[in-house]
Amino acid sequence: MNKNYLLAIMILTGTILGAGIFSLPYVIGNVGLFLGAAYLVCFGLVYFFIHRFYGEALLTAPPGHNFLYFLKESIGARAWRLSSAIIVAEFLLILTVYLILAPSFGAFVFGSGAAGTAVLAVFWALGSLFIFLRLDVLGWTEFLGVAAILAFTLFIFGFGAAPLSGALWPKDIGLAALLLPFGPLLFSLAGRSAMAQVVEKERDSAKAGRPFSVVKVAFWGTFIAAAVYFLFVVAVLRLTPHPAPDALSGLGGLPAGVLAILGIIGLLAIWKSYIVIGLNTKEMLELDLGLPKAWGALAVIAAPMAFYAIGLNDFLSVIGLLGGLFLAFDSALVVYIWRRLVPRSRLRPLSWVLYAIFLAAAIFEIISLV
C-alpha cells in the first residue's frame, strides 16, 4: 500500500474533522437521522467535487502556488482584494469558533463558572504561542485531531442507551428547518486548504514511481469524515434525544471522570485545529497579502478574541454564518478557478448545480440574519 496515499487521505480527513462536528447532532436531530444521512451524503458529494476541483487546479501549476495566487490570476485586482479580505475574515472567524468551544470543554474538566474565562484565556494564549512554530513541527497534529475526535465519539457511544426511534424522522418539515443544516454542513465538511498538501504528497509519490489519484483521495478523505460525523450524531442522540446547539451542554449527565476525559480530548482536538488554522492564516497574511510580520501576527492573535468580545460567541450562529456565507463564497471561488484552469472537463455542467447550492445557503443565512 502506498504510504503517501494513506497519509494524503489522513491529511484531508484530519483537516475536515473539526469544530463543526459539535453542531451536527442538533441540526441533524431536527431533520431526523434518515434525512440527516441524506444531507451528509449530498454535502459530502458537494465537497468531494470541491476538493477534487481544487486538487485538479493545483496540478495545473508548478509547486508553491496557493488559493490566493490562483484567485489573483483569475479575477480583477479590485475583486481579488475584496475576495482576499473575505477569505481572511473567514479564517479569523473559524479561530473564533474554537474560542467559543474552549470554555465548554473546560467546564467538563474544571467545572462551570469562573473557570470558563480562565480556560478561554489559557487556550487563546497557548494557541497563539504555538502558531509561531514551524509547520513541519506540527505535522503530527492531524493524527492527533483524528484520534481525539474518534476517541470522543467512542466514549459517548459507549455511554448512550436512549432509543433512536424518536430521532429517525424530522421534528419540523418547514422550509427553514430543512435549510438549517446547509450552513453547518458547509462548514463541517470543508477541507479545501488540505488539498495543497495532498497534491504535494502526490507529486512526491510520483517522483518515487508510485503515483496515486488525487480524485480518490478527495473521495475517501471527504466521506471518511462524513462517516465519523454520522457516528458522532448517533452517539449523541443515544445520550439525549434533544441535543443542545453545541452538542456539549447535553452531556452533563455523564460521570464526572468521563466528562473530565472528554474535556481533555476535546481541548486537544480544538487546540490542534486552532494552531494549524492560525498558522495558515498568518502565512496567508504575510506571504500572499504582503503584510509586515508584526501586523500579520497581531491580526491572528487579536482578531479572534476581538470577535468573541464583541458578541460573536454563539456557536450555532457563527457556524451558520461561516458555512452559509463565507465557505459558500470560498467554495464558489474554487469552482470558478477550476472552470478557468480545467476548461475541457466533462464535469463543467456540474458547476452550475454547485453554484445553486451555495446561493441557496447564502440566501437562507442572509434571511436568518435579518
String of DSSP letters for 12-40: HHHHH-SGGGGGHHHHHHHH-HHHHHHHH
d(CA 39, CA 43): 6
DSSP for 202-224, written as a single string: HHHHHHTT----HHHHHHHHHHH
Report whether pLDDT(138) > 60. Answer: no
pLDDT tens digits along 325-368: 999 999 999 999 999 999 989 999 999 999 999 999 999 888 88
DSSP for 32-81, written as a single string: -HHHHHHHHHHHHHHHHHHHHHHHHHHHTS-TT--HHHHHHHHS-HHHHH
Q: Is the CB of residue 10 less than 8 Å from the CB of residue 146? A: yes
Share of the chain above pLDDT 90, in %: 35
Q: Looking at the chain, which runs of residues are DSSP E strands? A: none
Q: Is the CB of residue 274 less than 8 Å from the CB of residue 95? A: yes
Residue 284 φ/ψ, nearest 5 degrees: -60, -45
Residue 186 φ/ψ, nearest 5 degrees: -65, -35
The C-alpha cell of 235 is what?
A: 452517539
The C-alpha cell of 180 is what?
A: 438549517
pLDDT tens digits along 186-236: 999 999 988 988 998 889 888 888 888 999 999 999 999 999 999 999 888
The 8-class DSSP code of residue 348 comes to T
Which CATH topology does 3-369 take? Amino acid/polyamine transporter I (1.20.1740)
Within 13 Å, how many C-alpha atoms sit on residue 366's CB side? Answer: 9
Report whether pLDDT(42) > 50. Answer: yes
Domain map (residue ranges) of the chain: 3-369
d(CA 60, CA 56): 7
Q: Is the CB of residue 124 less than 8 Å from the CB of residue 98? A: no
The 8-class DSSP code of residue 194 comes to G
Report whether pLDDT(20) > 80. Answer: yes
State which amino acid sits at residue 5: Y
* pLDDT at site 220: 96
Q: Is the CB of residue 306 less than 8 Å from the CB of residue 124? A: no
* pLDDT at site 241: 78
Q: Is the CB of residue 50 less than 8 Å from the CB of residue 354? A: yes
Rounded mean pLDDT of the chain?
86
Average pLDDT for 109-133: 82
pLDDT tens digits along 244-287: 887 777 776 677 787 888 888 888 878 878 887 888 888 888 87
Q: Is the CB of residue 7 less than 8 Å from the CB of residue 212? A: no
Q: What is the pTM of this model?
A: 0.89
d(CA 296, CA 301): 9
Residue 172's contacts (CB-CB under 8 Å, 6 or more residues apart) are: 30
Residue 70 Cα distances to 32, 108, 286, 338, 341, angstroms: 40, 43, 17, 9, 9
Local structure of 275: helix, strand or coil: helix
